[in-house]
Amino acid sequence: MRGGDAIIKALMDKGVDTIFGYPGGTVIPFYDMLYDSDLRHILVRHEQCAAHAAEGYARASGKVGVCLATSGPGATNLVTGIANAYMDSSPIIAITGQVVSNLIGNDAFQEVDIMGITMPITKHSYQPKDANDIPSVINTSFEIASTGRKGPVLIDVPKEVQEQELDDYVLGTIPTPGYKPTIRGNSKQIAKAAQMLKSAERPLILAGGGTILAGAGEEVKKLAELIKAPVATSLMGKGIVDEKEDISIGMLGMHGKQVANQNVNKTDCLLAIGCRFSDRTTGKLEEFLPEAKVIHIDIDPAEIGKNVAVDLPIVGDAKIALDQLINELEGSKIDESAWFKSIVDFKKSTIPRVSYDDIPLKPQQVIKEIAGAITEDTIVTTDVGLHQMWAAHFLDISKPRKFISSGGLGTMGFGFPAAIGAKVACPDDAVLAIVGDGGFLMVSQELATIKEHDIPVVIAMLNNRKLGMVYQWQNKMYNKRYSETDLGNTPDFVKLAESFGINAERVEEVDKTQEVLSKALKDNESMLIEITVEKDEFIPMFPPGGGINDLLGEYKYEKDVAGGK
């Protein structure tokens, strides 16, 4: 067995069925060995998409996603995807080829110090110099990527190490004495948290991506019901509780729901779980939570107190700590409060307007049609920009891991390849990528990937021929000086998709949208649906640097629609 075989065997021993990659000079030995193996390889058409697909795979399934690229440009093309996984704490393993060891440091052909380049955006990295270490390096990388605060691990394998014969294949571990994530919450702190929540009059829960990573959906719901607290989420926490239910008040933040943004500051006790209080979630910190005691549960101690001052820190896994907290609270009787009722009433009276009959279609209306076409098991991925915020704000998600979006890094081009990864991980679930025309064009070459590998992904492209989010900022904050945000009239997206052999349809009217989407999702076939949307419809926001209750734009309500629609 040689180094490359050991990579394949170790990955398979760790339960990996599929990897996403792209060959090149320094990984030819690996690919030669892959030729005879049972490991499924999805050939993407750009390495960045291999990393995004691995992340989509990881986030849809909860397993570790794996991508692979050659040295030099192959490796640097992975960088955006690795950074995205780092910001959103997604467990992926990126394997790169490296020039032969005796050339490292010589500026050899396609040599780049990818360990150095990715140091700030990986949880850890390895460069095995001896093929005998490969199984253990892979084993330990899985451990690091998928425990504690999850994140990407890079393994850089010099070419000759891939070819080196192993003495023995041992799936051991590389010692990591400095790596001991805290999993269980401190019981004294848990008891204090229970007291604080019991005596709170207006408790509120803020659930972030950490709750989804921990699989804490049931626990969040149970606790919220126990203490009668509404649940807001960050973008990354979307779907942790069913957003259709009374208990959910949706996304908080710059483009958050009115019910979340306008009530968060009224709470007297905020329980934040697995969230990092990003500036996009909190707005101006001085105006955030003026009267609340804050309990913060997070697996990463560095997140606690980093942005928001915390009264009670609890380091631990969200699922386990919540379970402890529930045990502590069970039996205590907390009555349905006026507070909770007022929030439910607020939510019901501020249901955002999604019904319009305008042509071109309003984006809100498109989201309404999408909502009608998907089920609660459909995996929705989004790209980054206006369409993402339309989806985050208006589309109710009912289950964890069904909304996959680029949060921290805000990577245009993420949505489509992430959908590919999600579909590979969950072939039985329908997968819908909601994208914009700008971001989709950054990764449209992956239409070849879904065609060649027969990966049925439905793409709903909201096309406004604009770089919409920047266009909105220019409209609201830069005197409508639309510098370089008009994307012009090319390409013809339908023809583009068809040239890859992917069915496509342009939709411009209301009724057609849902029909086409539903059929495509039901047929389990790849399809690009281009939906022409109004370019001057903007989503309410607080301005950058503004407080959570500052408002640019206006909230519109479904109840105001004459006669409904």
Partner 1 sequence: MSEKSHVISTLVEHKPGVLQNVASLLNRRGFNIDSITVGASEVEGLARMVFVVRGDEKVLEQVIKQLHKLVDVVKIKDLDPEYVLKRELCLVKVKTGKANVRSEVIQYADIFKAKIIDVCDDFITMEVTGHPDKIDSFLKLLEPFGIKKIARTGPTAIARGHH
Name the residues that contact partner 1, by CB under 8 A.
115-116, 119-120, 123-124, 144, 149, 176-179, 300-302, 305-306
Task: Supply the minimum distance, in Å, between the C-beta of residue 109 and partner 1.
Answer: 23
Task: Supply the minimum distance, in Å, between the C-beta of residue 547 and partner 1.
Answer: 22
Instruction: Round to whole Å and give the CA distance between 513 and 516.
Output: 5
Element housing 19 (H / E) = strand 18-21
Instruction: Round to whole Å and give the CA distance between 271 and 274.
Output: 10
Q: What is the DSSP string of 446-505?
A: GHHHHHHTT---EEEEEE-SB-HHHHHHHHHHSTT--TT-B--S---HHHHHHHTT-EEE
Q: Which is nearer to partner 1, 305 or 456 (CB)?
A: 305
Integer Rg of the chain from CA: 24
User: Of 9, 14, 150, 159, which one is the catalytic site residue?
Assistant: 159
Q: Which is nearer to partner 1, 105 or 427 (CB)?
A: 105
Q: Which of 196, 401, 213, 384 is nearest to 303 (CA)?
A: 213
CB 421 within 8 A of CB 62: no
Q: What are phi and psi of 169, to 5 degrees?
A: -90, 110
Is 47 annotated in the active site? yes
Question: Which residue type does 47 have?
Answer: E
Is 500 annotated in the active site? no
Q: Which of 31, 64, 52, 28 is nearest to 445 (CA)?
A: 52
Is 109 annotated in the active site? yes
Neighbours of 528 (CB within 10 A): 28
Torsion sign over Cα 174, 176, 177, 179: negative
User: Of 9, 30, 33, 47, which one is the catalytic site residue?
Assistant: 47
Is 159 annotated in the active site? yes
User: Of 1, 110, 192, 558, which one is the catalytic site residue?
Assistant: 110
Q: Which of 158, 137, 162 is nearest to 72 (CA)?
A: 158
User: Of 196, 442, 461, 469, which one is the catalytic site residue?
Assistant: 469
Q: Which is nearer to partner 1, 126 or 414 (CB)?
A: 126
Q: Which of 506, 392, 373, 514 is nearest to 430 (CA)?
A: 373
User: Of 12, 109, 291, 522, which one is the catalytic site residue?
Assistant: 109
Task: Supply the minimum distance, in Å, between the C-beta of residue 120 and partner 1.
Answer: 6
Q: Which is nearer to partner 1, 15 or 175 (CB)?
A: 175
Q: Which is nearer to partner 1, 116 or 488 (CB)?
A: 116
Is 469 annotated in the active site? yes
Q: Quick one: tokens of 242?
A: 């069913």
Task: Supply the minimum distance, in Å, between the C-beta of residue 185 and partner 1.
Answer: 17
Task: Supply the minimum distance, in Å, between the C-beta of residue 27 and partner 1.
Answer: 22
What residue has token string 């483009």?
Answer: 255
Q: Which is nearer to partner 1, 299 or 391 (CB)?
A: 299
Task: Supply the minimum distance, in Å, between the C-beta of residue 127 and partner 1.
Answer: 9
> So which residues are the catalytic ones?
47, 109-110, 159, 469
